[in-house]
Amino acid sequence: MSANTLTITDNRTGKQYEIAIENGTIKAIDLRQIKTDADDFGLMTYDPAFTNTASCKSRITLIDGDKGILRYRGYPIEQLAEGSNYLEVAYLILHGELPTAAQLKDWSFNITHHTFIHENIKKCIDGYHYDAHPMGMFIGTVGALSTFYPEAKQIFDAEARRKQIHRLIAKVATIAAFAYRHRMGLPYSYPDNDLSFTGNFLNMMFKKTELKYQPNPVLERALEVLFILHADHEQNCSTNAMRSIGSSEADPYSALAGAAAALYGPLHGGANEAVLKMLNEIGTIDKVPDYIKRVKAGEFRLMGFGHRVYKNYDPRARIIKQVADEVFAVTGRDKLLDVALELERIALEDDYFVNRKLYPNVDFYSGIIYQAMGFPVDIFPVLFAIPRTSGWISQWQEMLLDDEQKIARPRQIYLGSEVRDYVPIERRG
Ligand code: CMC
């Protein structure tokens, strides 16, 4: 008997089975042979919310939740945040290796020259109500892109895929900024190809009457770091949505709109918006103990705390705290930071949070920084979606090129009625 196997005894039948172990997993389909009789469908696993199921093999991002480690393609997030920029990280995530100087120049040129959107896309945004949530506009408009690029359906054509990848990484920033300007009733500010990716994003967001927008270099760099931290995070809810929709061979714009919709929820990318609302509601440090009491009583969750995978400090939160200091040196200190620091201090000493291994996650401090930089609260989830686009699209491509993947189609445990006859309406009690 091989050492890399699992022996299972089915106590219903007394039969023994030997199941192969590979990469610390067993294949769920190998359990199907375990039956009580020939008519039995076979054993399945039950795993709502995928808490212990690997849905793919991936070479992109590693998270070690117990050690608080995050790496893209093997590179520690701390080193990338220190030395890289968002476009270089997007290249790395997608291609697997850091670019050479020539490759980076070419890649940056390609992304920069796809930042313009068709004027009719602009009309789609114009059609939204004046107070539409920017994330709703973002999701709808990204989905609409698929109607502008019908060749995007050729998902197995590497060249067609390459084009959509450039377009998506570039255009999500323009769509995000245009959604914001529509919300504010401001004229759209067109992309400026002389600027960096983040500098241009700030230009599209905040340019007023000046002829040439000059981003503040500290804020431009801070945004680079925030975008690096948000670029990928392995099989989270929205990435799972991207892979799942993509597995039906839908075009990448439609799949990405679905992924962005998954990100919108307050338990995922909508948490940064929820954190700011929470901090505003608490208002002052003296209200923190009472708020924590209500969290412990189960009234609501402490937003920006806890993570499915990290059971140690979220390494992204640690980097973000440093960025906060640099940003506040330019913008002035936000009073909500004191509330956040006090919440963190009390929570980290409290048994409720310690026992459940609940630590601040990436969203706990990102919102305060975004607010200090002048971003309105409801665009925060969109700010998450812009860099995560490179992660979604890399995971989508990896899934498409993986021979072991097929259309995603989970099983269920049916607990509904047995077969029964239809009753005409006049005979129903
Ligand atoms: N505040 C208070 N209690 C919490 C929290 C929280 N933020 N998160 C988890 N718990 C408790 C939960 O009530 C449960 O307690 P008990 O065992 O007594 O029932 C225990 O901790 C385990 O929680 P869970 O819901 O089983 O954990 P999960 O892995 O399903 O949820 C989570 C992970 C991130 C959805 C959750 O921690 C949460 O809702 N956090 C707040 C929202 C948030 O900040 N989301 C951003 C995540 S990071 C950005 C991203 O990548 O999306």
The CATH number corresponding to 63-262+392-400 among 3.40.47.10, 1.10.357.20, 3.40.640.10, 1.10.580.10 equals: 1.10.580.10
Which of the following is catalytic: 307, 314, 334, 378? Answer: 307
Check if 271 has its Cβ closer than 6 Å to any atom of ligand 1.
yes
Element (H, E) at 362: helix 362-372
Distance from residue 235's CA to the centre of ligand 1 (Å): 17
Is residue 268 part of the annotated active site? The answer reads: yes
The model's pLDDT over 163-208, given as tens digits with 9 standing for 90+, comes to 999 999 999 999 999 999 999 999 999 999 999 999 999 999 999 9
Bridge partner list, 5:
20
Distance from residue 360's CA to the centre of ligand 1 (Å): 11
The model's pLDDT over 314-371, given as tens digits with 9 standing for 90+, comes to 899 989 988 998 999 999 988 888 999 999 999 999 999 999 999 999 889 898 999 9
The model's pLDDT over 364-413, given as tens digits with 9 standing for 90+, comes to 989 899 999 999 999 999 999 999 999 999 999 999 999 999 999 999 99
pLDDT at 416 over 90: yes
For 137, the token pair is: 């506009």
The pLDDT value given to residue 313: 83
Which of the following is catalytic: 232, 314, 334, 363? Answer: 363
Residue type, 22: E
> 368 near 340, Cβ under 8 Å?
yes
Distance from residue 333's CA to the centre of ligand 1 (Å): 29
Region(s) of the chain under CATH 1.10.580.10: 63-262+392-400
The model's pLDDT over 23-82, given as tens digits with 9 standing for 90+, comes to 999 999 999 999 999 999 999 999 999 999 999 999 999 999 999 999 999 999 999 999
Which of the following is catalytic: 64, 268, 338, 350? Answer: 268
Report which protein residue has its CA nearest ligand 1's atom 47.
Answer: 268
> 121 near 128, Cβ under 8 Å?
no
CA distances from 255 to 89, 251, 365 (A): 22, 6, 29
Distance from residue 50's CA to the centre of ligand 1 (Å): 15
Q: Is 45 helix (H, G, I), strand (E, B) or coil?
A: coil
Check if 306 has its Cβ closer than 6 Å to any atom of ligand 1.
yes
> 227 near 200, Cβ under 8 Å?
no
> 77 near 70, Cβ under 8 Å?
yes
> 198 near 168, Cβ under 8 Å?
no
> 367 near 322, Cβ under 8 Å?
no
Distance from residue 326's CA to the centre of ligand 1 (Å): 29
Query: What's the pLDDT band for 427 if we cut at 50, 70, 90?
Result: very high
Q: Report the nearest atom of ligand 1 relative to the CA of 356.
A: 21
Handedness of CA 152, 161, 260, 245 (dihedral sign): positive
Query: What's the pLDDT band for 235 if we cut at 50, 70, 90?
Result: very high
Check if 267 has its Cβ closer than 6 Å to any atom of ligand 1.
yes
The pLDDT value given to residue 33: 98
Check if 268 has its Cβ closer than 6 Å to any atom of ligand 1.
yes
Check if 221 has its Cβ closer than 6 Å to any atom of ligand 1.
no
Check if 372 has its Cβ closer than 6 Å to any atom of ligand 1.
no
Handedness of CA 28, 33, 36, 41 (dihedral sign): positive
> 254 near 80, Cβ under 8 Å?
no
Average pLDDT taken over every residue of the chain: 96
Residue range 271-372, CATH number:
1.10.230.10
Distance from residue 359's CA to the centre of ligand 1 (Å): 10
> 324 near 318, Cβ under 8 Å?
no
> What average pLDDT does the segment 245-256 reach?
98
The pLDDT value given to residue 398: 98
The pLDDT value given to residue 113: 92
> What average pLDDT does the segment 274-281 reach?
93
Bridge partner list, 238:
none
The model's pLDDT over 108-126, given as tens digits with 9 standing for 90+, comes to 999 999 999 999 999 999 9
Query: What's the pLDDT band for 253 if we cut at 50, 70, 90?
Result: very high
Is residue 194 part of the annotated active site? The answer reads: no
Q: Report the nearest atom of ligand 1 relative to the CA of 364.
A: 44
Check if 304 has its Cβ closer than 6 Å to any atom of ligand 1.
yes
Q: What DSSP assignment string belongs to 339-360?
A: HHHHHHHHHHHSHHHHHTT--B
